[in-house]
Amino acid sequence: MTKKPVIGITASYVKHNHYMEGVYVHQDYHKAIVASGGIPLVLPVSTKEMAIHYLAMCDGIIMSGGEDVDPQFYQQDPHQKLGFIFPERDEVELALIQACLDENKPLLGICRGLQILNVALGGTLIQDLPSQVPTSMQHVQTIPRPRSFHSVTIEKNSHLHTIFEKERVRVNSLHHQAIDTLATELKAVAFAGDGIIEAVEHVSKKAWAVQWHPESMFSTSKDMQKLFQTFVQTCQ
């Protein structure tokens, strides 16, 4: 029997009431991994020191979506429109990203995952697109999560173009933050119509990230199925 790769998925925290609280990650992530031939392993927020132990159990890492990145980690003060932050999660994920890059294990960042990857490598973020970039288009869609909302243009000389085999794809959109200053170790490989960076790739490591949520489009989009399948195969 061929051993399936174990894919770690970073998680956040939710509290429904006094009796129900704990680890949270959207079910679309683990469904997409299972359908692509991997074994999902949810990684709860813990300590920075746990990052290397998490990584030792995994063949690849998905940095999942969620709350805003705390601007202290890219040396800025909070904007008035900054959303909910979870600094403890940021600390663990920053340590996990560094460990993942050091060992060159495959890493896929999704939405917030793209943003925290950029921050981990020295980049900065736009804390609130509507107020800080008023010329930007709407990036928080008003239709169900699995449906596409806008197009992105993909650079030809990129890993993403190799996966999709096309220069434009339709994506969903659920973010109000975005990359501002791009980290020097990353290259931008996809853009929205307003110029916002929608995907990045590391210049030398097996790490790439997208601003949209491919896991939620997985059941209906062959493009997003290719993205997950390629990632899981890379982790094999």
- Work out the pLDDT band at 2, boundaries 50, 70, 90: confident
| Mean pLDDT of the 70-93 span | 97
**Domain total of the chain:** 1
pLDDT at 235 over 90: yes
Residue 1 has pLDDT above 80, yes or no: no
**Domain assignment of residue 54, yes or no:** yes
Cα–Cα distance measured from residue 115 to residue 68, given in angstroms and rounded to the nearest whole number: 9
The tokens for 79 are 């904007």
Check residue 204 and give its pLDDT.
97
What DSSP string runs through 17-73?
Answer: ETTEEEEE--HHHHHHHHHTT-EEEEE----GGGHHHHHHH-SEEEE---SBPPGGG
Residue 1 inside a domain? The answer is no
Rounded to whole angstroms, the Cα distance separating 53 from 165 reads 36
What integer pLDDT is reported at residue 5 of this predicted model? 98
Q: CATH number, domain at 32? A: 3.40.50.880
- Annotated catalytic residue, options 26, 58, 93, 111: 111
Span 132-181, pLDDT tens digits: 999 999 999 999 999 999 999 999 999 999 999 999 999 999 999 999 99
- Give the separation between CA 201 and CA 189, rounded to whole angstroms: 7
Set 93, 185, 198, 215: catalytic member: 215
- 153 within domain boundaries: yes
Whole-prediction pTM:
0.97
Compute the mean pLDDT over every residue in the chain, rounded to the nearest whole number. Answer: 97
Q: Is residue 150 assigned to a domain?
A: yes
* Residues spanned by the domain of 110: 6-235
Q: Which of 26, 30, 213, 235 is catalytic?
A: 213
Is residue 12 assigned to a domain?
Answer: yes
How far is Cα 116 from Cα 183, in angstroms, rounded to an integer?
Answer: 11
Look at the block and give the residue holding tokens 């790769």: 5
* Lookup result for tokens 């560094």: 98
Strand partners, 17: 20
Q: Is 215 annotated in the active site?
A: yes
Q: Average the pLDDT over 59-65 and give the result.
A: 98
Q: How far apart are CA 22 and CA 202, in angstroms?
A: 32
DSSP label at residue 85: B
